[in-house]
């Protein structure tokens, strides 16, 4: 049993970490931290934990003090709030998995431009591993600092990796039209996240300006071995959870849907959590699980391939992948604590 | 490991049984039966099972033939369809858990009146145990035929049992105003269950005529040790899962909210799945779990007690309680395969 | 054409007033007031007004100054914020319709107890008319200050009035189980109103303590000509709009459902907006309209009558009834500006 | 006053026609037809019409007989069911507006290929006008047979027309990612349209094969004055109404967002129902209205323009545009009966 600390345990990603780790066979949670709800019990905010997780949340000061006791620190805080914690944890040999954006971009300048925050630990940008598990197991295993990918990037990079790695598409032609449930906006009291403002509507937002763009481009460029730019448009969908990423690109040569699906199945043959489906993915089939469903269709009329991938934004898109990365880092079974499947309906 | 068969595995209750038993440490599913989808793989209907449950569903004939192989038969079929199966299974020493209404009412006449179906096995009505687990563990343990309670009755009976058992309320004063998610209507192609017909609306239905009334009255009468009648009004709520039962009754003598809650905590002190909460229950906190949350408030202005209980209609209100009953019948740990908690949001 | 001012035009009730008055044949809106969004155009918050209502909202100071110009002032502000405005408006001969609770209760003490706010204009409590239009047309016509009823009270009082007026039920037996869409919570940035906190769940709240209780009791007592107390339990339903009020009471003598419905049809025969339906009301059929659907069922097993009424909380439960009251006050056709019906689905 | 008949008045598009025409100042409905609900009153299916539209639906035979009495026939039937009706109506000088696909495609072969139905009136394909009102007012005015556009095509064609007409984009680069509410699937008892199958999920469907593709391409090709092919992917969103069309294309030369928006405002300056918005469109702002909101963003990093348009699929995408076309055909004010705006929330 290792010991973990969770920073930001009352936000949706942090709370999802608590949910997963509560049942994890190899981990004991040492502390749950909360800024707004320090001294509240977790079940006072999340009634599902009544009788289960009734621990009191600790404030930042106490969390800092407890870093000594733990083996791994999960940070689910707003961007720019991880620096001091990460520094201390790494100094004491505690592995860090950051669910925010602070270590995702390799370039300090790019981070500061897209996030408008001064980066206080630029040297770490070289050490941190972008933790999209299926594509980086070896690096993750050796790392002590994981930049856990964003939700949109996870769905999108897993969806496009086989095409780019195999150099099947024109790199300038990639368009990503993504759709997310409302939990992606977090548990903050914003009018735009009210039930009455989200329900019965769909909208695009952050058109051509969303912060997940550079990390998607960074990782896709590595796969393609050339710098590429994409168009990325996120949409808000009236549902709690789920991301669907619909990705368009032009094939370099003519390939059938069947051939594409074969390539995908082969690419992910050793990845338990990625399922290449014959049917078109729907977010409900992965909801509440760490799975990623991917399928593709070739449109011979335009010679485009349309790849569709679905994940749960809070699990594979956040807490689940974080635990998956932890499993790899500590040499646990990759699926430990994560082998639950979606419940329907 | 025992072996189980599931009749009606493609309906929502049957499919939920499949979900639970897939992870149950003591059970292996021998066959999944479906009438409309015989020869379909379960994952063709339920994409969440891609890579997990890819078994082909068998038709009635094959299911009948396989009864020899199994230890327990779960029946999740329309009312009136269980008779032949039950007869055969019991004859071969296979325990039966019926999720329908065929064995819930002790009186053949009452069954035929409320359901409009001729009862073909009236002698079994005496042997069958009404499987509301927390209240009948001893009987269930000895039984080979369980009538698994309806979803509304489960929430309501658990909610009112402590009051009636302790003779705290006027038995003629009980009013049950219940609310259910749409999965309670099953997976049938009815216009009234369309998204566009249910969404953004709430309605009552079956006012003063709903079929769950007699089984609630039967079990409450046993607890009260006198024949009682209730008013029961179900409502349809635009959500997938969940039942909230709001129960009103007049206190015989003055009691405080605190005293009532103490009585409840004591009553359910040995019941893992029933949580008496200080806060008012919400269905989201039990969604996808076998838990029942109950709380109560005394209204001193009217000397009424208002009890509110929440369950997941497909788990504690159907498949979960069925497995809980199986656990008791076979001497497994009562929580085996059922120790998952709700995921939020 | 008369001129109107709307205080609190960017909240849901105020905005609904703007929507209705924009098309009203007899009214011109002189100003839209907003506290948080002064100097914003209404269409910046509500995109449906793009190309239609693009007026800038004015702050309190400017609104106060413009009271001279108007004939009627609608106040849709938080409780306790109406006093100064009402005083000034009435002094200048401007009629006032307050959508909050400041003038609903006849007793200053009761107001201060339930709302925890000091009442600054107690003499007005005698002059104000509780504006449930169908029951008080004569008083409303003569009044210059209307206390517009709450949403739950509107549905409930209209639902129970025929029974109490005709002395058909035991006055101590009334139980009101009401359900509301989320817009009833207003457009405030509260975590409890987030999409992710309301969606896929139902809960009761304010059990035995909700502030609408005293106004319901006050008006029902007048109808019954005796002081009565009720049990009132509101519930939150995952939908934008709508209130369903399910009301239980014991009949004094035996009556059939048909007889009850006849009594209701007669009672409301001159009320355009109240429809007595044979089928059980559903909120979707009145959504976005000023209509109230009511039906009833007698349960002969318990000799109870169950009355179910449905309204749109923002229209008949707020802005629509306010305009209906204005129409009566100014001698316009009662349906002026309000003759729109629900859209399905 | 002219007289209208509605074929298929109990489906969602037909029922929306009934809703609109009920208030239309120039039209009286002579009959409502229904196949499945002949002899039912419209309010028995749609409770919103209680006290308003209580007419009995007539069957096909009676509808055919009544064609003599009417001036315009609206057909909202399944594809392939309009031929006999259209023939008879036109022969008697009755104008026809078909809301299905039977006259949308200019090519008989293309119709038969995409729809798998033999076209029985191929000569009409030359006479019929594709009724996207804003782009074809002159032709519509002179026509007696309107092929009312599909919902996805309406949003998409209005969204892309200014770019193609002005030859601003590469015609081979058009990708349309569209999202629809569930009412687009109609009021048929399909399992895939159940609340529990649609709620809390998003999916793509008909990827590279959806039947709206050829009519979009046909009309866009006319605008571009060259044959073009698009990629079109529809998605199902858990909401009742609304279509959002997100359209990607490569600019031929560099243009700013502001320049694009100016071009759009100029293009639609005489079109009451099209609003070019500075903010990104959301379906809630057009829900229940005949409006189309459009905005655009240039992504200078990729030199793509992203156009987003929003409509209500049942109004501007079906019944509203049909009435708008009728208004043009009969010389009524184009906005007659259609000047209602969305209600929020």
Contact B345 A288 (CB under 8 A): no
Q: What is the DSSP string of C190-233?
A: -GGGBHHHHTT--EE-STTT-THHHHHHHHHHHHHTS----EEE
pLDDT band at A277 (very low <50, low <70, confident <90, very high): very high
Query: How far lies C227's CA from each of A195, C148, C170, C214, in Å?
Result: 39, 22, 12, 11
Work out the angle at residue C176's Cα, subtended by the Cα atoms of residues C193 and B284, and round it to the nearest 5 degrees. 35
Would residue B266 count as lying in a domain? Answer: yes
Would residue C337 count as lying in a domain? Answer: no
CA C60 and chain centroid, separation: 24
- Residue numbers in A near D179 (CB within 8 A): 179, 202, 235, 237
Note the pLDDT tens digit of each residue in D290-344: 999 999 999 999 999 999 999 999 999 999 999 999 999 999 999 999 999 999 9
Give dist(CA D110, CA D214) in Å, integer. Answer: 8
- Residue numbers in B near A287 (CB within 8 A): 48
Region of D8 (left: φ > 0; alpha: ψ -120 to 50; beta: rest) is left
Query: How far lies C274's CA from each of A80, C99, C245, in Å?
Result: 57, 20, 14
Task: Identify the chains in contact with C, defined as 3+ C-beta pairs within 8 A.
Answer: A, B, D
Q: Is the dihedral of CA A178, A182, A187, A189 positive or negative?
A: positive
Would residue A305 count as lying in a domain? Answer: yes
Contact A190 C189 (CB under 8 A): yes
At residue B223, the pLDDT reads: 98
Would residue A324 count as lying in a domain? Answer: no
Task: Identify the chains in contact with D, defined as 3+ C-beta pairs within 8 A.
Answer: A, B, C
Query: How far lies A120's CA from each of A79, A113, A129, A342, B113, in Å?
Result: 12, 14, 18, 40, 75
Note the pLDDT tens digit of each residue in D250-301: 999 999 999 999 999 999 999 999 999 999 999 999 999 999 999 999 999 9
Please give, rounded to a whole number of angstroms, the shortest distance from the CA of A345 to a CA of chain D.
6
Q: Nearest-CA neighbor of C200 among A276, D182, B282?
A: B282
In the stretch 220-239 of chain C, residues with CB closer than 8 A to chain B read: 229-231, 233, 235, 237-239
Contact call for residues A11 and A36 (beta carbons, < 8 A): no
D13 to chain B, any CB pair closer than 8 A? The answer is: no
C322 to chain B, any CB pair closer than 8 A? The answer is: no
At residue D14, the pLDDT reads: 98
CA D167 and chain centroid, separation: 25
Would residue D180 count as lying in a domain? Answer: yes
Q: Which of A48, A241, A285 sits opposite B47 (nearest CB)?
A: A285
Contact C302 B345 (CB under 8 A): no
Task: Identify the chains in contact with A, defined as 3+ C-beta pairs within 8 A.
Answer: B, C, D
Contact D189 B194 (CB under 8 A): yes
B282 to chain A, any CB pair closer than 8 A? The answer is: yes
Burial class (CB in 10 A: 0-12, 13-18, 19+), B330: middle
Cis before D148? omega within 30: no
One domain for residues B53 and B159: no
Contact A202 D242 (CB under 8 A): yes
Is A114 in a helix, a strand, or coil? Answer: helix
H helix intervals, chain B = 12-22, 42-45, 60-66, 83-91, 108-115, 124-127, 137-142, 151-165, 195-198, 212-224, 257-267, 320-330
One domain for residues B17 and B86: yes
One domain for residues A123 and A168: no
- Average pLDDT for residues A262-287, to the nearest whole number? 98
Would residue A328 count as lying in a domain? Answer: no
- Residue numbers in D near C48 (CB within 8 A): 284-286, 289, 341-344
Contact D196 B200 (CB under 8 A): no
Phi then psi for residue B17, to 5 deg, are -60, -45
H helix intervals, chain D = 12-23, 42-45, 60-66, 83-91, 108-115, 124-127, 137-142, 151-165, 195-198, 212-224, 257-267, 320-330
B191 to chain D, any CB pair closer than 8 A? The answer is: yes
CATH number at B42 reads 3.40.50.720
Q: Which of C191, C195, C239 sits opposite A198 (nearest CB)?
A: C195
Q: Nearest-CA neighbor of C100 among C137, C45, C159, C146?
A: C146
Phi then psi for residue A124, to 5 deg, are -65, -20
Q: How many residues does chain D have?
A: 345
D15 to chain C, any CB pair closer than 8 A? The answer is: yes
Output the 3-class SS for D233-279. EEEECCCCCCEEEEEEEEECCCCCHHHHHHHHHHHCCCCCCEEECCC
Q: Which of B182, B196, B198 sits opposite D183 (nearest CB)?
A: B196
Query: How far lies A304's CA from each of A170, A318, B163, D220, in Å?
Result: 10, 30, 66, 19
One domain for residues A54 and A168: no
Residue of B nearest to C214 (CA): B301
pLDDT tens for chain C, residues 1 to 345: 999 999 999 999 999 999 999 999 999 999 999 999 999 999 999 999 999 999 999 999 999 999 999 999 999 999 999 999 999 999 999 999 999 999 999 999 999 999 999 999 999 999 999 999 999 999 999 999 999 999 999 999 999 999 999 999 999 999 999 999 999 999 999 999 999 999 999 999 999 999 999 999 999 999 999 999 999 999 999 999 999 999 999 999 999 999 999 999 999 999 999 999 999 999 999 999 999 999 999 999 999 999 999 999 999 999 999 999 999 999 999 999 999 999 999
Residue of D nearest to C184 (CA): D345
Domain end (from B127, B143, B176) = B127
Q: Nearest-CA neighbor of D16 among D32, D28, D1?
A: D32
Phi then psi for residue C339, to 5 deg, are -90, 55
Would residue D337 count as lying in a domain? Answer: no
B275 to chain A, any CB pair closer than 8 A? The answer is: yes
Please give, rounded to a whole number of angstroms, the shortest distance from the CA of C219 to a CA of chain D.
28
C256 to chain B, any CB pair closer than 8 A? The answer is: no
Query: How far lies A247's CA from each of A153, A173, D35, D101, D176, in Å?
Result: 12, 10, 42, 29, 12
Please give, rounded to a whole number of angstroms, the shortest distance from the CA of C209 to a CA of chain B.
8
Share of chain C above pLDDT 90, in %: 100
Give dist(CA C126, CA A195) in Å, integer. Answer: 38
- Residue numbers in D near C12 (CB within 8 A): 344-345
Domain end (from D127, D161, D185) = D127
One domain for residues A114 and A13: yes
- Average pLDDT for residues A94-120, to the nearest whole number? 97
Contact D195 B194 (CB under 8 A): yes
CATH number at A196 reads 3.30.360.10
Contact A187 C198 (CB under 8 A): no
- Residue numbers in C near A190 (CB within 8 A): 189
Contact call for residues B223 and B217 (beta carbons, < 8 A): no
- At a CB cut-off of 8 Å and minimum separation 6, what does D261 contact? D276, D278, D295, D296
D301 to chain A, any CB pair closer than 8 A? The answer is: yes
Q: Which positions of D are catalytic?
A: 151
Contact C231 B308 (CB under 8 A): no
- Residue numbers in C near D293 (CB within 8 A): 47, 50
One domain for residues D181 and D90: no
One domain for residues D177 and D120: no
C335 to chain D, any CB pair closer than 8 A? The answer is: no
Residue of B nearest to D183 (CA): B196
- Residue numbers in B near D182 (CB within 8 A): 194-196, 199
Contact A201 D177 (CB under 8 A): no
pLDDT band at D7 (very low <50, low <70, confident <90, very high): very high
One domain for residues C199 and C118: no
Please give, rounded to a whole number of angstroms, the shortest distance from the CA of D22 to a CA of chain A.
25
Would residue B319 count as lying in a domain? Answer: no
Contact call for residues B102 and B119 (beta carbons, < 8 A): yes
- Residue numbers in A near D289 (CB within 8 A): none
One domain for residues C196 and C309: yes
One domain for residues D255 and D161: yes
Q: Nearest-CA neighbor of B179 among B258, B266, B282?
A: B282
- Number of separate helices (H) and strands (E) present in chain B: 12, 13
Q: Which of C282, C299, C304 sits opposite B201 (nearest CB)?
A: C282
Q: Which of C114-122's residues contact partners 24+ apart within 8 Å by CB, and which partners?
A: C114/C211, C114/C213, C114/C214, C115/C79, C115/C80, C115/C211, C117/C79, C117/C80, C119/C83, C120/C83, C120/C84, C121/C83, C121/C86, C121/C87
What's the total number of domains in chain C? 2
One domain for residues D49 and D99: yes
**Is B198 among the catalytic positions?**
no
Please give, rounded to a whole number of angstroms, the shortest distance from the CA of D271 to a CA of chain A.
23
Helix (H) or strand (E) holding C267: helix C257-267
- Residue numbers in A near D248 (CB within 8 A): 175, 177, 231, 233, 248
Structural domain span for residue C251: 151-313
One domain for residues A99 and A219: no
C177 to chain B, any CB pair closer than 8 A? The answer is: yes
Region of A167 (left: φ > 0; alpha: ψ -120 to 50; beta: rest) is left
Q: Which of D239, D297, D306 sits opposite A200 (nearest CB)?
A: D239
pLDDT tens for chain B, residues 1 to 345: 999 999 999 999 999 999 999 999 999 999 999 999 999 999 999 999 999 999 999 999 999 999 999 999 999 999 999 999 999 999 999 999 999 999 999 999 999 999 999 999 999 999 999 999 999 999 999 999 999 999 999 999 999 999 999 999 999 999 999 999 999 999 999 999 999 999 999 999 999 999 999 999 999 999 999 999 999 999 999 999 999 999 999 999 999 999 999 999 999 999 999 999 999 999 999 999 999 999 999 999 999 999 999 999 999 999 999 999 999 999 999 999 999 999 999
Q: Which of B16, B275, B344 sits opposite A46 (nearest CB)?
A: B344
At residue D225, the pLDDT reads: 98
Give dist(CA A14, CA D13) in Å, integer. Answer: 45
Residue of B nearest to A315 (CA): B343
Q: Which positions of C are catalytic?
A: 151
Work out the angle at residue C239's Cα, subtended by the Cα atoms of residues C133 and B240, and round it to the nearest 5 degrees. 145
At residue A96, the pLDDT reads: 98
Contact D190 B189 (CB under 8 A): yes
H helix intervals, chain A = 12-22, 42-45, 60-66, 83-91, 108-115, 124-127, 137-142, 151-165, 195-198, 212-224, 257-267, 320-330
- Average pLDDT for residues A154-163, to the nearest whole number? 98
Contact D187 B199 (CB under 8 A): no
């Amino acid at each position: 049993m290792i010991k973990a600390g969770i920073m930001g345990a009352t936000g949706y990603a942090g709370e999802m970490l608590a949910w997963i780790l509560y049942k994890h066979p190899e981990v004991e949670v040492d502390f749950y931290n909360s800024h707004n709800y320090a001294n509240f019990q977790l079940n006072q905010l999340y009634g599902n934990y009544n009788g289960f997780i009734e621990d009191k949340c600790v404030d930042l000061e106490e969390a800092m003090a407890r870093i000594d006791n733990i083996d791994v620190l999960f940070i689910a805080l707003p961007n720019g709030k991880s620096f001091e914690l990460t520094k201390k944890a790494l100094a004491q040999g505690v592995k860090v998995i950051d669910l925010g954006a602070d270590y995702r971009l390799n370039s300090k300048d790019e981070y500061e431009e897209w996030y408008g925050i001064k980066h206080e630990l630029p040297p770490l940008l070289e050490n941190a591993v972008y933790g999209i598990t299926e594509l980086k197991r070896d690096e993750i295993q050796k790392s002590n600092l994981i930049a856990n990918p964003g939700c949109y990037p996870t769905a999108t990079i897993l969806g496009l990796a086989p095409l780019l790695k195999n150099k099947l598409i024109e790199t300038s032609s990639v368009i990503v039209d993504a759709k997310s449930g409302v939990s992606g906006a977090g548990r903050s009291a914003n009018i735009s996240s009210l039930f009455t403002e989200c329900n019965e509507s769909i909208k695009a937002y952050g058109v051509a300006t969303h912060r997940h763009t550079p990390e998607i481009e960074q990782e896709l460029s590595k796969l393609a071995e050339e710098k590429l730019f994409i168009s990325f448009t996120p949409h808000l969908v009236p549902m709690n959870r789920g991301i669907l990423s619909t990705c368009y690109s032009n094939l370099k040569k003519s390939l059938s849907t069947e051939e594409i699906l074969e390539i995908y199945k082969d690419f992910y043959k050793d990845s338990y959590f990625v399922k290449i489906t014959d049917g078109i993915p729907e977010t409900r089939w992965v909801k509440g699980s760490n799975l990623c469903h991917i399928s593709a269709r070739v449109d011979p009329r335009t010679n485009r391939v349309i790849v569709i991938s679905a994940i749960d934004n809070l699990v594979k898109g956040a807490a689940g992948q974080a635990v998956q990365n932890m499993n790899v880092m500590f040499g646990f079974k990759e699926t430990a604590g994560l082998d639950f499947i979606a419940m329907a309906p």
